[in-house]
């Protein structure tokens, strides 16, 4: 190995101090891209979460079938339960990988500011859940005859807002549970009470879209409630991520 020429006693360490730290968004994108590349390579979390979500929907479908026809009004609830459960699974798996390789610790050692790490991880989880929802929603439409395409844009907004609210809290807790004992059971215990309002708003909003006489203003009301929750949860998470990650 050609050994680097040793600079006598010159203070090399001093002169080549790194440039100013990269901006918030650049750091967040750096972490998201890394997560997506890892996920694209192993695809482990996508496949497992997807299969889990599909089996979740099937199980519910069987339980609500009457004389061969699945209950029409159960579609919204089932869709959101599948999202919530697979979301918890995906969060647990994503951070389990960080724990096993202790890589989050290395990230905490770099000068990146912590909220950017949080946003980066959050975006990674959201991308994952978007893939799951893109497949589960048509499945629910197929099995329950839910009119998914009638107000596709509003439905997509509801799903996005609900998933952001759910994942915002989930990412924060999953990251902090890395050191805790029995974290697999603690994540749902902590996550569901906090995100119940988000799930209720999501189910009610989606339910309104699926029913025969669609009540659009009501759906928009639930959407605005979801956005309100997203803002509250994300800001609260951004404030608390830094002190909470400090041991």
Task: Tell me, by CB under 8 A, how many residues bind other proteins.
Answer: 67
Contact set for other proteins, span 115-174 (CB under 8 A) = 169, 172-173
Which H helix or E strand runs over 233?
helix 216-245
d(CA 29, CA 215): 38
Q: Please give the C-alpha separations between residue 21 and each of 17, 41, 121, 140, in angstroms, as whole numbers.
A: 11, 29, 19, 46
Q: Which is nearer to other proteins, 54 or 218 (CB)?
A: 218
Site for other proteins in 12-51 (CB under 8 A): 12-14, 16-22, 26-27, 30, 34, 37-38, 41-42
CB of 75 to other proteins, least distance (A): 19
- Measured from the CB of residue 85, what is the shortest distance to other proteins in angstroms? 17
Complex with other proteins: residue 55 or 110, whichever CB lies closer: 110
Spatial distance between the Cα atoms of 188 and 162, rounded to a whole number of angstroms: 17
Question: DSSP for 121-188?
Answer: HHHHHHHHHHHHHHHHHHHHHHHH---TTTTHHHHHHHHHHHHHHHHHHHHHHHHHGGGSTTHHHHHH
20 conformational bin, left if phi > 0, alpha if psi -120 to 50, beta if neither: beta
| 71 touching other proteins, by CB under 8 A | no
Residue from 54, 157, 200, 238 touching other proteins (CB under 8 A): that is 200
Segment near other proteins (CB under 8 A); pick from 48-56, 121-129, 158-166, 179-187: 179-187
Structure token digits, residue 98: 């960080």
216 binds other proteins (CB under 8 A): no
Closer residue to other proteins, CB minimum distance, 6 or 149: 6
The continuous run of DSSP H or E covering 204 comes out as helix 183-210
Nearer to other proteins, 17 or 153 (CB): 17
Burial of 86 (0-12, 13-18, 19+ CB in 10 A): buried
Q: Which residues bind other proteins (CB under 8 A)?
A: 1-4, 6-14, 16-22, 26-27, 30, 34, 37-38, 41-42, 101-103, 105-113, 169, 172-173, 176-177, 179-182, 185-186, 189-190, 192-194, 196-197, 200, 232-233, 236, 240, 243-244, 246-247
């Amino acid at each position: 190995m050609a050994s680097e020429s040793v600079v006598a006693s010159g203070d090399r360490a001093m002169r080549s101090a790194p440039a100013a730290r990269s901006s918030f968004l650049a750091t967040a994108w750096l972490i998201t891209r890394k997560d997506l590349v890892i996920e694209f390579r192993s695809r482990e979390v996508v496949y497992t979460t997807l299969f889990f979500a599909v089996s979740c929907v099937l199980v519910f479908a069987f339980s609500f079938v009457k004389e061969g026809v699945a209950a029409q009004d159960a579609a919204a609830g089932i869709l959101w339960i599948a999202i919530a459960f697979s979301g918890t699974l995906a969060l647990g798996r994503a951070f389990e990988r960080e724990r096993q390789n202790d890589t989050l610790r290395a990230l905490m050692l770099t000068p990146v500011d912590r909220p950017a790490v949080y946003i980066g991880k959050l975006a990674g989880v959201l991308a994952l859940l978007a893939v799951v929802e893109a497949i589960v929603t048509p499945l629910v439409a197929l099995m329950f005859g839910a009119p998914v395409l009638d107000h596709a844009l509003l439905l997509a907004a509801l799903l996005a807002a609900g998933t952001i609210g759910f994942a915002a809290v989930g990412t924060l807790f999953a990251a902090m549970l890395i050191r805790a004992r029995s974290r697999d059971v603690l994540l749902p215990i902590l996550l569901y009470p906090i995100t119940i309002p988000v799930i209720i708003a999501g189910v009610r909003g989606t339910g309104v879209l699926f029913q025969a006489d669609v009540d659009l203003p009501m759906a928009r009301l639930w959407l605005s409630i979801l956005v309100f929750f997203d803002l509250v949860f994300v800001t609260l998470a951004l404030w608390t991520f830094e002190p909470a990650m400090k041991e």
